[in-house]
Structures are given as C-alpha cells and as structure tokens.
Amino acid sequence: MLGRPETEDQLLARLLATAIVDLADHSAPAMFKLPYPASAQRVVDLLAARALHCGADAPTSVPDLVRRCQEIPLTRWDLDLAASGVTDADVLIDPVTFTPSQLCYEWAVDASDATADLIENDLLLDVIATCRDRNLPHSYVAFRRLLIEQPILDQMGWMKVTTDQHLDPLLHIVRDCYQPMPAAYVRDATIMTCGRCRCPLIPTLGGGWACELDRCRWEGLKLGHPIPASDDLHVASRPLRVFITGPGRAETELEKAMTRLNLRVEMWPNIDTYDLRISFPSGQIWAVDVKDRASPSILGRTATALRANPPYTHAFYVVPDYRKAQREDYGRVFRAASQATRDGEFEFAFSSELIKAARKELRRA
Ligand SMILES: [Zn+2]
C-alpha cells in the first residue's frame, strides 16, 4: 500500500543504494571488494545510458561510482528526488566510516517493513514463522532483546545464549544472525564498543572511532569498553544492527518510560505485530511502532496501518526525538508522504510527545 508510485529517478536512486549495499557485502565495512556485484555495474550502465540521453554527467566505473557516493550528496546527482525530501546532508557512503550510510540502507530497502525485507529477510521470517507455528512469544521477545542488548557475542556470551531456554528453539537461526567479527573493526588487536548501542565502533583515519548508527553519531562519541580481537567474537550483521539494534534503543527507552508511569507494556506482542502495546486504566490501548529512519518521506510513503491483532484503540508511529533536532521538518514531511496518517489510521509522534500524551491520558482518567 504505497502512498505514491515511484518515479524513474526514485527507482534509479534505489538501485544505486542497493548497489552500494551489495558492494559493501553486508558485512565487511570499508571493503568495496572485487569482483563487483552485477548490481553495481548495472547502475553504472543505467546512469551512463541516462547521461547519453539527457547530457548529464555520469560515473565512468564502479570505483568512480563509489567515490561519487561518498562525496556528492543525493541532492546534487542528476536525479529529480525533490519529492523524496532528500537534503544536502544525505550521502550514500558515510565519509567517516566509508560504509553505507543508514539512509543508504533505507533507500536500498524502501519497504513498509524494512526488517522483513532485507537480505536477512529469510532469517527474520524464519524466526517469526517458527515462533508463530510453535506459539513461542517469549522466544521472540528473547530474540529481539538479544539483538538489542548484545550485538556482540564472545564465547561466554554465546554459551549463555545456548543455555537460554527461550532462545533454544531458535538457536540455528540466531547463529546465522551473527557473523565473525570483520577485520575492519579491529585496530591494534582490539575492538572498541559503542557506549550507547554496544555495537563495534569503526576505527577512523585519524586514530579515532565512529559508530555507524545515526543516533549515536548525533549524540556524540561515547566509548564503551575494549575487547581483545579473537576468532570467538561474533557480531550481528549490519542490516540487523541498523533495523533492530538501533531502533531497539528507542523501543526499550519507551518501555522504561511507560513502565515508570505504572502502565502495562507488552513488547512485540503476538510475535511482532507491532513494537509496544500500552494498556491504560481508562481502557485505552495504544499500539506503537517505533521507527528510527533518516528519511521521513520513505518512512511516510511506506507506513501502513498497524494490524489489529492484538487489538488496540489508538495507533502511533513513533520516531526518536533526535530526528526532529536533525530535521525540523521531519513530522511535516512524514505526514505529507503518508496516506494512512491522512486517513486517520494512525498518528505520528516523537518519543517525548508520546510520553507526554500518556501522562495526559493518565490525568484524564
Ligand atoms: Zn552506537
């Protein structure tokens, strides 16, 4: 149920972002490796054909494409993306970490449920299917919390996972969600974790470190703790970190805030129908889907009504506050792009607005 059909230029931008994600191979940061995936060469060819047609400038090779994605914001490509709400800050490759930006993943995916549409698609669908078939809601919650709380697993961590009764039925899938720690995160035989999201930081050129998640970057570098590099270390794959670990921070913060208000909160009810189900003494039940996306227009365009199983009285799409500080037009762009909001199927709110609304609802009751 997309709000608006995709234009040719939007499609091209999506193919471009997909090619960059393919190039990065979903795993090894800073490694745009040979042989190049077919998608990258296809985008170079498509852009060249388009340039011939309209006299625009186009990348001459895959390395040239990569350089441009790093240096040239999307607004300055010969693509008409005005309707997509891109800004001059939007580049597909992060110039600090040399890995695909969060926005790049969003463009590459561009679907209502990014997590279910990734290459890891099959993994997540497997988890959801297994939990639904065997009626294992606790296993699903344990799986989500594992990816949020422990994006890095060492031998001890892995041992705890294998002895967790809730994770047990999902072990074979959990194993596939984690990959050996890529060499690009190692400096001086050490991995440094992010003090905010617990993901590995990327060593930067000047001897510093950078987190790949937009929110951590916005809030400023906070070092976690160093871990000696070893073959036993595993890390959740990057798309899972972008679409599960990252927004997981906002989801669990809301859980804490609502619990502090003495409200009953169910996380990922009915095996991920939505993210939070909050019950009020008044009888109101709020269904909340938390999204931490760079692009309000892609999010708005692909946002659909939340499924009413379990049922609710009010539905919300919620975005962490820092996105508003980043882009004051975020809510406006989202609302303009979202048919479902205009149809009154759900409301849009930033995290703090939702908490404020919950307090108000409590006072009203
Ligand atoms: Zn971080």
245-364 maps to which CATH number? 3.40.1350
CA distances from 350 to 250, 260, 282, 346 (A): 10, 18, 23, 13
pLDDT of residue 114: 44
Provide the β-strand partners of residue 223.
Answer: 194
For 163-188, what is the mean pLDDT? 93
Using the mean position of ligand 1's atoms as its centre, give its distance from the Cα of residue 183 in Å.
18
- The answer to whether 185 and 212 have CB atoms below 8 angstroms apart is no
pLDDT of residue 69: 92
- The answer to whether 208 and 221 have CB atoms below 8 angstroms apart is yes
Provide the β-strand partners of residue 180.
Answer: 234
Residue 5 confidence class, pLDDT cut points 50, 70, 90: low
Mean pLDDT of the chain: 87
% of the chain with per-residue pLDDT over 90: 53
pLDDT of residue 154: 94
In sequence order, the 6+-apart residues with CB closer than 8 A to the CB of 312 are: 277, 285, 286, 287, 306
pLDDT of residue 55: 74
For 234-261, what is the mean pLDDT? 92
pLDDT of residue 346: 93
pLDDT of residue 121: 59
pLDDT of residue 156: 93
> 141 is written with which tokens?
């919650």
Q: Which of 355, 338, 356 is nearest to 347 (CA)?
A: 338
Number of other residues whose CB lies within 10 A of the CB of residue 49: 10
Residue 24 has pLDDT above 90, yes or no: no
Q: Is 25 left (phi over 0), alpha (psi -120 to 50) or beta?
A: left
For 251-266, what is the mean pLDDT? 97
Using the mean position of ligand 1's atoms as its centre, give its distance from the Cα of residue 190 in Å.
17
Using the mean position of ligand 1's atoms as its centre, give its distance from the Cα of residue 249 in Å.
10
Residue 25 confidence class, pLDDT cut points 50, 70, 90: low
Number of other residues whose CB lies within 10 A of the CB of residue 19: 27
pLDDT of residue 119: 44
Using the mean position of ligand 1's atoms as its centre, give its distance from the Cα of residue 8 in Å.
35
Using the mean position of ligand 1's atoms as its centre, give its distance from the Cα of residue 321 in Å.
16
Q: Which of 148, 234, 226, 163 is nearest to 190 (CA)?
A: 226
Residue 115 confidence class, pLDDT cut points 50, 70, 90: very low
pLDDT of residue 9: 84
For 294-323, what is the mean pLDDT? 92
R_g of the chain computed on alpha carbons: 21
For 178-205, what is the mean pLDDT? 93
Helices (H) and strands (E) in the chain, counts: 17, 12
pLDDT of residue 107: 83
Q: Which of 170, 131, 177, 174 is nearest to 271 (CA)?
A: 131
Using the mean position of ligand 1's atoms as its centre, give its distance from the Cα of residue 237 in Å.
14
- Calpha distance 288→273 (Å, rounded): 10
Pairing outcome for strands 285-290 and 314-319: parallel
Provide the β-strand partners of residue 286.
Answer: 278, 314
Domain boundaries, the chain: 8-110, 121-240, 245-364
| Residue, of 276 and 85, whose pLDDT is higher | 276
Using the mean position of ligand 1's atoms as its centre, give its distance from the Cα of residue 179 in Å.
18
What SS3 class is residue 16? helix
| Residue, of 44 and 146, whose pLDDT is higher | 146
Most confident of 4-18, 96-110, 115-129, 319-333: 319-333
Using the mean position of ligand 1's atoms as its centre, give its distance from the Cα of residue 318 in Å.
20
Most confident of 90-94, 265-269, 340-344: 265-269
pLDDT of residue 39: 80
Report the amino acid identity of residue 339: Q
Using the mean position of ligand 1's atoms as its centre, give its distance from the Cα of residue 152 in Å.
12
Entry pTM: 0.81
- The answer to whether 78 and 56 have CB atoms below 8 angstroms apart is yes
Residue 113 has pLDDT above 80, yes or no: no
Using the mean position of ligand 1's atoms as its centre, give its distance from the Cα of residue 150 in Å.
12
Report the amino acid identity of residue 69: C
For 110-120, what is the mean pLDDT? 47
% of the chain with per-residue pLDDT over 70: 91
Q: What residues pack around ion ligand 1 (CB closer than 5 A)?
A: 194, 196-197, 211, 213, 216
CA angle 227, 229, 234 (to 5 degrees): 85
Using the mean position of ligand 1's atoms as its centre, give its distance from the Cα of residue 51 in Å.
39
